[in-house]
Amino acid sequence: MTTPTTQAVEETEAAAGGEYTGRFIDLNGCRHHYLDWGNPEAPPLLMVHGLTQHGHSFDGVARRMRARYHCIALDVRGRGESDWASQDTYGYETYARDVAALLEALEIPAAHYLGTSMGGLIAMTLAIGAPEKFLSLAMNDIGPHLGRVGMERIGSYTKDLPAQFKSLDAYLDQRLIPAFPWLAQRPRGPLLKAAQWTVKPDGGGGYRLRYDPLVTAGVGADAEGLAAFETLLWKGFGNLSCPILLIRGAESMLLEPGTVEEMRAAQPKLEVASVPGVGHAPSLDEPEAREALAAFFG
């Protein structure tokens, strides 16, 4: 992995109700956004989201953890309020370099880390060359092997998405619930509130996605490249010497039961929690996920 490049934090957004501060920083030539939940003297907890998510995906976790940790939630390049970049930079080596650059810029030699899906893949990629960056690692529904049925499903629901939505309700009905059907059983109000961070007003009365469509291009299409990537992920996972928690959606097709057992063999002290009735990936607000994270991070 090449040496990361950084610039100092450039500007600060207005805080939202005093809960957090949104900041911008240049990492490896791309302007990134992250949420700083305060308590800077506490141990750092870096949170990195899934493929089409954003730092606000961890708002619930941060509210529960901020009294004990300095919670930092990154918008990975091309997502949330971070700048869109060239397609050739939408890859895991670059993402890992961005995370390393953020830690360097914030003068954090090592951090506790929580990664959902893609965020966990970024962690394992970073651990190939820098396992010392992790004080602990919690991964949400992801491992070094990616279930092929799950990959196909992700490819299908990220393909040919509408560029615009007439309303937040339309976004839920056309995008969110078809991709995550168990959400149909949850109260609609909180889903609509959370949707504001995934889509943004388009200036014409409707909404558009906050992420660059190119971040999902070709997901799982290169079988040979995927197998080679998994070999590297197993190396990174095996390099880790910190405590590790794995949270799995009990119905996940991306993190298969057999992969969990292989991960236990590679890391005998691995802690595992299951979230019933959920596929890929838990929101981390489920009781089982909340309990596992509270026990793991203390």
Strand extents, DSSP E, 207-256: 207-209, 244-249
The pLDDT of residue 1 is: 46
d(CA 218, CA 17): 39
The ranges assigned to domains in the chain are: 6-147+222-297
Residues 137-161 have pLDDT tens digits of 999 999 999 999 999 888 877 777 7
Name the amino acid, one letter, at 69.
Answer: Y
Considering Cα of 86, then 90, then 94, then 98, what sign does the dihedral take? positive
CATH for 6-147+222-297, among 3.30.750.24, 2.40.110.10, 3.40.50.1820, 3.30.2130.30? 3.40.50.1820
Dihedral angle of Cα 246, 248, 254, 256, to the nearest 10 degrees: 90
Residues 99-120 have pLDDT tens digits of 999 999 999 999 999 999 999 9
* Confidence check: pLDDT of 129 > 90: yes
Verify cis geometry, omega within 30 degrees of 0, for the bond prior to 16.
Answer: no
- Joined together, the tokens standing for residue 242 give 């910190």
User: pTM for this structure?
Assistant: 0.93
- Joined together, the tokens standing for residue 55 give 């730092």
Name the amino acid, one letter, at 64.
Answer: R
Residues 239-284 have pLDDT tens digits of 999 999 999 999 999 999 999 999 999 999 999 999 999 999 999 9
**2 band by pLDDT with thresholds 50, 70 and 90:** very low
Q: Calculate mean pLDDT across residues 226-238.
A: 97
* Confidence check: pLDDT of 17 > 80: no
Name the amino acid, one letter, at 203.
Answer: G
d(CA 22, CA 27): 16
Residues 186-223 have pLDDT tens digits of 899 989 988 989 999 999 999 999 999 999 987 766 88
Q: What percent of the chain is predicted at pLDDT more than 90?
A: 80
The pLDDT of residue 199 is: 93
